[in-house]
Amino acid sequence: MGQEERIQNAYRGLGGKRTFYDGMITCSTLSGRAVCRLVWGMGRAETQDYLCVALSGIPEGFSGRLLEVPVGTGILTMPLYREMPEAEITCLDYSPEMLERAKCRGEGLSHVRFQQGDVGALPFGDGSFDIVLSLNGFHAFPDKEAAWREIFRVLRPGGIFCGCFYVTGQNRRTDWIIRRLYVPKGYFTPPFETAESLRHRLEEIFGPAKVRTVQSIASFACQKVKEEYS
């Protein structure tokens, strides 16, 4: 079994109509709160904190073109997209099951379209989007270098790249659980950034970047001012 197939299989069980994943990612159910506390050392306030920073790159009243990759089950962003009727939003995910759940959540949103695809080979032209949003994705991507290149390519000059994902070196317990459980299960794929290496990479590839960590999650926003990927 190839690495990409292994990752897709790992996430297949998380995309049902009522999922443990949704409760965990939002820290909104009893079991989800238990995992957030045990694995991530967070409560609901910390979860909302890092998500708020991750979404800060999207201005109020945004009416441009936005790509979200991966969209997951849509639990984090569909409520936001309902408040952005003038925007053109494309939601992409590698997992058909995750994408199907996101479609259900996005029912009735005519300005949002859903597409199955690989972040390492995005099916969009150069400079297609004003904003690229990636929530909790990079720690799962099997080919991270391809993902960086493709996101840079489809983001227009002056566009914003924002989001969040796991970084190592912030919480020893979290790092141990990721290494011993999440990686073998196929949920996460090394190598992983540190907060400092993430800041350096964003500034090297895109331009000025803001990075803030809450426990082992780094939220970021940066602007594409570089002319070429480096």
What is the mean pLDDT of the segment spanning 99-105?
95
Cα angle: 83, vertex 147, 134; to 5 degrees: 20
Give the percent of the chain with pLDDT over 70: 92
Instruction: Write down the pLDDT at residue 67.
Output: 98
Rounded-to-integer distance, Cα 10 and Cα 99, Å: 14
Domain extent listing, the chain: 3-223
Look up residue 44 and give its two tokens: 């609901």
Handedness of CA 191, 193, 198, 201 (dihedral sign): negative
**Domain 3-223: homologous superfamily in CATH:** Vaccinia Virus protein VP39 (3.40.50.150)
The per-residue pLDDT of the chain, averaged, comes to 91
Instruction: Give 195's Cβ-side CA count (13 Å radius).
Output: 13
Each as own residue / partner, the long-range contacts of residues 77-81 (CB below 8 Å, 24 or more positions apart, any chain) are 77/133, 77/135, 78/102, 78/105, 78/106, 78/109, 78/112, 80/55, 81/106, 81/109, 81/111, 81/112
Task: Label residue 20 by pLDDT band (50, 70, 90).
Answer: confident
- Tens digit of each residue's pLDDT (9 = 90 or more) over 165-193: 999 999 999 999 999 999 999 999 999 99
